[in-house]
Amino acid sequence: MQEIRLASRPTGWPTADNFELAELPTPAPGPGQVLIRNRFMSVDPYMRGRMNDVESYVAPFEIGKALDGAAIGEVVASNAEQVPVGATVLHGLGWRDFAVADAAHVRVVDPAAAPTLSAYLGLLGMTGLTAYVGLLDIAQFRAGDVVFVSGAAGAVGSVVGQIARLRGAKRVIGSAGSAEKVRHLVDDLGFDAAFNYKDAPVRQQLRDAAPDGIDVYFDNVGGDHLEAAIGSLNKFGRVALCGAIAQYNETSAPATPRNLALAIGKELNLRGFIVGNHRDRMPEFVAEVGGWLRAGEIESRETVVEGLAAAPEAFLGLMRGENTGKMVVKLG
């Protein structure tokens, strides 16, 4: 089997040198364990934080050991009755082609219930749940709201915008980093407006796109995007603080938002969240989003990279914003 290990901790932007591919004997499952042949693994922005030697809501990766993260695969050997050979399972041991996991730590899923196996890592997985919980529970979205989402062509942002549209937003606005992504948001995903944040200051482009202000901001970016959103938020506006990809690779803290004191008079509510503490919403999420997916009302674009050896490059591409929709690595 092969696995990707953290060779060294990046300072600032990570590079290929921070990763190494290792080969080792495929292990046999112990009692109560299963051997999984991985089919897809996820690369996610939050993994950048785990490359730093900082205690956070998840433990840091360790140098010289395999990275981990969400993956889906097939059971090829089993010492656990409830997870037989042939079962398709979701689990947390990505960044390797074979994985031995405790049967209690995997979730058996129905491969026929999704358009592709990789959807369980994206639209129908924690990525989609992040969008759902952040928009509906954290930002308390209500029909009639004007919604702005940054990183809107990304895995989470693209789902946020579509849920807002399907749930009756007055107007959905997205920012992204290329003209092609902006076109995708408007033409394919049904955003009412979108802009390329590289074209002009976010503050100005957001004002043009939302002349009457916004009610909800779903933040995947931080920095200038958050400052612009605070400026455009209406009275009683709400912010879901989900990510801050603009600053994950910076070595000094950003000097934004400078206008946070506006939150007093506007009576804004800004709330950070981690999807892991909201797993109880999975059944409602799967029912509602799964229904939209079967009805063809929601699109699940993915950017697929082939082969475990390319996983570091997939992650680096994600950091640079090269993906549209969920970035996954196809294995085996």
Of 200-208, 257-265, 284-292, 306-314: span binding its own copies (CB under 8 A): 257-265
Of 6-14, 115-123, 192-200, 242-250: span binding its own copies (CB under 8 A): 242-250
Q: Does 226 bind its own copies (CB under 8 A)?
A: yes
**CA-based end-to-end distance of the chain:** 11
Of 7-15, 104-112, 270-278, 313-321: span binding its own copies (CB under 8 A): 270-278
Of residues 283, 324, 303, the one with CA closest to residue 188 = 324
249 Cβ contact list (under 8 Å, min separation 6): 10, 12, 13, 14, 48, 319
Q: Does 23 bind its own copies (CB under 8 A)?
A: no
Q: Does 12 bind its own copies (CB under 8 A)?
A: no
Q: Which DSSP helix (H) or strand (E) runs through 187?
A: helix 179-187
Of residues 241, 229, 169, the one with CA closest to residue 205 = 229
User: Residues binding its own copies: what is the number (CB under 8 A)?
Assistant: 34
Nearest residue (CB) to its own copies, 274 versus 309: 274
Q: Does 279 bind its own copies (CB under 8 A)?
A: no
Sign of CA dihedral 94, 98, 100, 103: positive
- Least Å distance, CB 85 to its own copies, is 38
Q: Does 178 bind its own copies (CB under 8 A)?
A: no
Nearest residue (CB) to its own copies, 100 versus 159: 159
DSSP 125-147: SHHHHHHHHIIIIIS---TT-EE
Q: Does 254 bind its own copies (CB under 8 A)?
A: yes
Residue from 110, 112, 143, 277 that binds its own copies (CB under 8 A)? 277
Q: How far apart are CA 135 and CA 82, in angstroms?
A: 35
Q: Does 301 bind its own copies (CB under 8 A)?
A: no
Nearest residue (CB) to its own copies, 55 versus 110: 55
Q: Helix or strand or coil: residue 28?
A: coil
Q: How far apart are CA 228 and CA 239, in angstroms?
A: 12
Q: Does 267 bind its own copies (CB under 8 A)?
A: yes
Residue from 258, 279, 294, 320 that binds its own copies (CB under 8 A)? 258
Return the DSSP state at 96.
Answer: B
Question: What are the residues binding its own copies (CB under 8 A)?
Answer: 49, 56-57, 222, 226, 235, 241-244, 247, 253-274, 277
